[in-house]
Amino acid sequence: MWRIMLVGGLGGILPSLLDKAEAWNSGEIQKWLESAPVLWIALLVACAPTVLYFVIGAVVAAVYEKQDLQKALLLGLGAP
């Protein structure tokens, strides 16, 4: 069951991680972090949605109780 939740959670965060990687490559994140008054609060604010998407993907995969990891990944991708 924990593997299903882990894969579902990873599916939940994959789209946001791709967005963050694109923002990192374009320099948006560097500009945003330089303009932040307190660095650790800015990092916490950036990580909070990722954690939330992981939890949503994991819960949805666990609720549907899919035993196939590929189906759990797809459920996690579609959850958020």
Helix axes 2-26, 69-78, angle to 10 degrees: 50
Selected residue with higher pLDDT from 40 and 70? 40
Selected residue with higher pLDDT from 21 and 72? 21
> What whole-number distance in Å separates Cα of residue 49 and Cα of residue 19?
12
Helix axes 69-78, 39-64, angle to 10 degrees: 130
- Quote the pLDDT of residue 66: 62
Helix or strand holding residue 45 (H, E): helix 39-64
pLDDT tens digits along 5-53:
888 888 888 888 888 888 889 988 888 878 888 888 888 888 888 888 8
> What whole-number distance in Å separates Cα of residue 25 and Cα of residue 23?
5
- Quote the pLDDT of residue 45: 83
The answer to whether the beta carbons of residues 72 and 61 sit under 8 Å apart is yes
Q: Is the pTM of this model over 0.85?
A: no
- Quote the pLDDT of residue 10: 84
